[in-house]
A and B are shown apart, each in its own frame.
Chain A
Amino acid sequence: MRLRGLIFIVSAVSSFIALDSCQNQDQLSYVRYYTNGKMLYDQHCQNCHNANGNGLGKLIPPLTDSLFLRKNKALLACIIKHGLNDSITINNTIYHEQMPGNSQLTDIDIAQIITYITNSFGNKQGFYDVSNAGNDLKNCRD
């Protein structure tokens, strides 16, 4: 009887630990993506979109429109890689300027940048994996 109780306790504790380490694994990947994403953002995006994601006047859109980012999440990878020629409506303002592409960025670079952007500047949309980026990039309109 006592043994059964002990086994129960041990299995309960170990399953907690297992669950916790799983979370930690995801958490770790997220933190790694986010940190690298910030570094890449500073290198490739910050000049135009500003360190705080606020853009510049009506020339360069801010990255603070959570609704836009959520609705168009599958397009973000394409925009970063291939740029933008169409006008775009962000926070009810229309932006017409061209955005240059960043064709040199790899899938993982782009996934890290998207993880950073969609979890900064007031956005909280969680982890965006390299496989997400791979899939989204296959569907780009060139």
Chain B
Amino acid sequence: MQENKFVISSAFLVKGQLNKYLCKSHSNTSLMRNSFLIIPFVVLLSACQSGSDNKLPILGNREAVEKTVDGKTVVDTVYQTIPHFSFLNQDSVALTDKDFDGKIYVADFFFTSCPSICPVMHRNMLKVFEEFKGNEEVGLLSHTIDYKYDTPSKLKAYAQKLGVYGKQWQFAWGERDVVYPLAEKNYLVAVNQDKDAPGGYVHQGWFILVDKEKRLRGAYDGTKPDQVEQMIRDMNTLLKEYK
């Protein structure tokens, strides 16, 4: 629907341009010829503009489901969503999926004593935090995968030392058997214990963007500043879907 509007408006634009040039070109045929060169450019330009307004893709597994609506059988696509969860946050308070209702949020997996990619990830996540500070529609959620050491009080100390206060950026602790499958099956991020790895755990540095319907809308390498910049732009694009 929105795209239709664009086509119409750009058609008007083309017509307007054309009229303008036609008016001017009564005595100048070369300008008239030029105007025909300009028209495709205008169309091209407006096509690009509508491109940047595009919605983000929906990621993950999907399946077609047959439903009966008003007596008719229709096929609907069901997308992968983040299931119900309940963890303890840095204040030792239960944190569930309900806390992210009405928000888009970014999830990642880390551990506080991580000597490899975590400092880079959270240095970059701090930029996202600053960018959307106080925005009620945006949440950040960091899961620890070090269920032995990273108790809520450790997470609290970590958050404070990072300079993170308030409830917008949540740090979640959960049992291994809950967190690891959630990472791998639902957020599609590989995590594991590995006694040979620095710090004892291995994990990928993805930032996963989740929309208000709990669907996966983007995956960004949290160790790369340019990808994190892209994520910030995509988050703004995603927020526009709900305007």
Contact = CB atoms under 8 A, between A and B. Distances in A.
B160 to A, nearest CB: 8
B162 A59 contact: yes
Interface stretch (B10-18, B22-30, B114-122): B114-122
Contacts of B151: none
Interface of B: 113, 115-117, 119-120, 122-123, 126, 158, 160-163, 198-199
A64 to B, nearest CB: 16
Please classify the interface of chain B as helix (H, G, I), strand (E, B), loop, or mixed, using the class held by over half of its residues. Answer: helix
Interface stretch (A13-21, A26-34, A50-58): A50-58
A48 interface: yes
A113 to B, nearest CB: 16
A97 B16 CA distance: 65
Contact of B161 (A47, A57, A100): A57
A96 to B, nearest CB: 9
A91 B140 CA distance: 30
Contact of B119 (A47, A58, A98): A47
A90 interface: no
Given A48-B115, A98-B113, A100-B198, A59 B161 contact: yes
Contacts of A100: 115, 198-199
B162 A57 contact: yes
B119 A59 contact: yes
Contacts, number: 32
Contact of A47 (B116, B158, B162): B116
A57 B198 contact: no
Interface in A50-81: 50, 56-60
Interface in A93-108: 97-98, 100
Interface residues of A, number: 11
Contacts of B198: 100
A90 to B, nearest CB: 13
B163 A57 contact: yes
A58 B115 CA distance: 15
Nearest to B122: A56
A59 B163 CA distance: 9
Contacts of A48: 115, 119
A100 B160 CA distance: 22
Contacts of B119: 47-48, 50, 56, 59-60
B113 A58 contact: no
A97 B199 CA distance: 13
Contacts of A47: 115-117, 119-120
Contacts of A59: 119, 158, 161-162
Interface string A84-125: 000000000000011010000000000000000000000000
Contact of A56 (B113, B115, B162): B162
B228 to A, nearest CB: 15
Contacts of A50: 119, 123
B124 to A, nearest CB: 11
B123 A58 contact: no
B34 to A, nearest CB: 50
Contacts of A58: 160-163
A56 B162 CA distance: 7
27 contacts: A47-B115, A47-B116, A47-B117, A47-B119, A47-B120, A48-B115, A48-B119, A50-B119, A50-B123, A56-B119, A56-B122, A56-B123, A56-B162, A57-B126, A57-B161, A57-B162, A57-B163, A58-B160, A58-B161, A58-B162, A59-B119, A59-B158, A59-B161, A60-B119, A97-B113, A97-B161, A98-B113
